[in-house]
Amino acid sequence: MPRRRIPPSRRIAAERRRTLFVLAAIALLPVAQVGAQSAVLAPTPSQPEGPFYPKTLPADRDSDLTQIVGHAAKAKGTPLYLSGRALMRNGRPVANATVELWQCDVYGRYHHAGDDGVPRDENFQGYGVATTDADGRYAFKTIRPVPYGGRPPHLHVRLRPQVGGTLTTQIYITGDPVDGDAVLSGSPGGVLERLTMTIVRVSGREPGALAGTFDLVTR
C-alpha cells in the first residue's frame, strides 16, 4: 500500500510546532532553577551578647570547654556535644568561619569575664572557638547549660564569617522553662522556636552524655 504523502506545508507546520515545544521546555528550565534557588532560609535571629563575653580571651580556647590544658580534672556537669552548620540564606555553606561559644559553669558562674562569684568550677574553660570546614560544619564539646540569676539555660554563640556581618545569638534547650526571661520577653514572636535546640542522649560517649545540633544561618 503506497505511503500517504504529507504536503510540504503540513510538514513545515509540524516541524515548527516541535521546535516551539522544545524551545518552550528549554525556556522553562531556568525558571524552575531560579525558583528552587529563591527558596531561601530564614536567618537566625540575633540576641544580645550579654555582659559576660570574655574581657580577656583565655590562653586555652579550643573547641573542648570541658578540659583545660594543664588540668588533670575535667569540668563538672553533663557533657554536651554541640554541632551544626554555618549557612548562607541560599543554603550554601560558610567555610572557614569562626564560631565562638561561651557560657556559665555548672554553678552559674562565667569565666574570664569579671564574674568573681563563688563557688566556681576552675576546670571549666568557659569559652571556646571552632572553625567551620568546607561544608560549614562546626563542633564543640561543652556541658549542658544551667539556669542562673533568673535566666534559663542557654549558650552564647557568635559566628564570624570571613566576609559579611557577624551573627551573635543565644541557643536555648527544648523543654526548659523560659517564663519571665528578660531577654526573650523583649524578642518578637517566634524567636524562641528558632533559637531552641533539642538535645538527646548519645551512645559511645561518657555516661549520660548529650548531643544537640544547631545551624547558624547568616544574613
> What gap in Å lies between CA 129 and CA 98, rounded to an integer?
7
Q: What is the pLDDT of residues 79-132, one digit of tens each?
A: 999 999 999 999 999 999 999 999 999 999 998 777 888 999 999 999 999 999
Q: Do 210 and 201 meet the contact criterion of CB atoms below 8 Å apart?
A: yes
Residue 115, pLDDT score: 85
Residue 31, pLDDT score: 35
The dihedral formed by the CA atoms of 79, 82, 181 and 150, expressed in degrees to the nearest 10? 20
Spans of all domains in the chain: 1-39, 79-218
Residue 56, pLDDT score: 87
Fold of the domain spanning 79-218: Protocatechuate 3,4-Dioxygenase, subunit A (2.60.130)
> What gap in Å lies between CA 153 and CA 60, rounded to an integer?
24
Residue 39, pLDDT score: 60
Read off the C-alpha cell for 55: 574581657
Residue 24, pLDDT score: 40
Give the residues of the chain that fall short of pLDDT 70.
1-39
- CA distances for 23 relative to 11, 17, 36, 45, angstroms: 18, 10, 21, 44
Q: What is the reported pTM?
A: 0.81
Residue 122, pLDDT score: 94
Which helix (H) or strand (E) segment is 101 a member of?
strand 98-102
Residue 22, pLDDT score: 38
